[in-house]
Amino acid sequence: MTSQSEKKSDPQPESIKPAINVAPSPHIVDGSFTTRRMMYDVLIALTPVICVSVYLFEMYAVRQILICLASCLVAEALFIRIRGKSITLMDGSAAVTGVILALSLPGTAPWYAGVIASVVAIGIGKIIFGGLGMNIFNPAMVGRAFVMISFAGVMGAAAYEHAGDAVNIITQATPLNAFKQSGIVSPLTDMFWGTTNGSLGETSAIACIIGGLYLCIRRTASWEIPFGVITMMVLIAGIKDIAGPFSGRLVLHHLLGGAALFGAFFIATDPVTSPLTRKGKLIFGAGVGALIMLLRLFSGYPEGVMFAVLLMNALTPLINRWTIPIPLGEE
């Protein structure tokens, strides 16, 4: 596979003697799109989300993002060193994990929660499987799940509501909590623009949509996954809506509330942990959407994006096996 360099003797000595090398075809590649570029694309797409969260949660957001980003980069460097590989921080994947993890945590989460979540995300979520590209579960969600369960007291519903805090938003209940506990449907415009309580990155639907569309247009994220998630959520929430007295508002409430859009565009679209083919991605997206709604409607949790993604991640190898495409010309 390696190309051999070979000096060529030119028939005319005075003419230029190029160093000719050989290699198997194809001899040209599309250099405009690399894995690193994909990771930076995700960071670019996250900017509107980050901006909104900093605007809403002020220092809570800045602090959480910096803690997770730094912890993820340090954890990546550390674990890579332990494995004796060369440092791969420049591929941007650890940074992406860090930012997504931070945005999925409540702003008020204690500093050690962010650090532990980062170390678990990189170490157990990724490196243990063999590093980038080998992991089965979305690293950020592994980290988040770990701290959500371990520190349920400071990370659960209570973590989101700080009565009388300096930052206004944090004094409210999250829309999904309010709905779960007292059946209140929050104002949809607030949820669309993001002026509600919640995890740092999930509150603003418009920011998620802008970033998500950018990712889909760049084909860094496959549109099939958010499409599947949203379609399935609309379908199930729609049925529930028809059954109950919500007159159409429940569908939008579920779609705009919680981490549904953030998850559909930024978490479920992680290429490593989602299927390879178009059909597989649609199935995967639909599965995530269905699980989100099942968890929201029938479980004790108000929100279900994290577990929905993790469960579908586990099914990804199976989906890949089911959706081996039929080659052109095969019956």
Partner 1 sequence: MSLFRLKNFPGKGSFPHGIHPPGNKEFSAESPIEVMPPPEKVILPLLQNIGAPCEAIVKPKQNVSFGECIGVGKAFVSASLHAPISGKVQKIGVTTLPNGRHLPAIFISAEGEQLSGQDLWNDILGKDWPRDCPMVYSPQTIANAIHESGIVGLGGAAFPTHVKVMPDDKKMIDTLMINGCECEPYLTPDYRLMVEVPDAIITGAMLAGRAVTAKEIVICIEDNKPKAIERLKEKAKGTVIKIAVVKTKYPQGSEKQLIKAVLDLEVPLGGLPSDVGVAMSNVGTIAAVARGVVKGKPLTHRVISVTGAGIQNPKNLLVPIGISIGETIQFCGGFTKDAARMIAGGPMMGFAFSSLDTPVTKGTSGITVLTHDDIRREKETTCVRCGRCADVCPMNLVPTKIAMAARHHNISLAQRYNIMACFECGCCTYTCPANIKLVQLIRTGKAQIVVSRKS
Stretch that binds partner 1, among 25-33, 51-59, 163-171, 260-268 (CB under 8 A): 25-33
- Contact call for residue 81 and partner 1 (CB under 8 A): no
Collapsed DSSP state (helix, strand, coil) of residue 21: strand
Rounded Cα gap, residues 85 and 294, in angstroms:
42
**Inter-residue contact 285 to 224 (CB < 8 Å):** yes
**Angle (CA) 182 260 244, round 5°:** 40
Binding track over 114-153 against partner 1, x by CB under 8 A: -----------------xxxx-------------------
Stretch that binds partner 1, among 43-51, 101-109, 234-242, 318-326 (CB under 8 A): 318-326
Stated length of the chain: 331
**From the list 154, 246, 271, 294, which residue makes contact with partner 1 (rule: CB under 8 A)?**
271
The DSSP secondary-structure symbol of 272 reads G
**Residue 231, token pair as written in the block:** 């379609």
Q: How many residues bind partner 1 (CB under 8 A)?
A: 52
- Contact call for residue 91 and partner 1 (CB under 8 A): yes
Collapsed DSSP state (helix, strand, coil) of residue 288: helix
Stretch that binds partner 1, among 14-22, 71-79, 201-209, 231-239 (CB under 8 A): 14-22
**Min. distance of Cβ 231 from partner 1 in angstroms?**
19
DSSP code string of 141-176: HHHHHHHHHHTHHHHSHHHH--TT-SSGGGGSPPHH
* Footprint of partner 1 (CB under 8 A): 1, 6, 8, 10-12, 15-16, 18-31, 33-38, 91, 131-134, 219, 222, 271-272, 274-278, 281, 320, 324-331
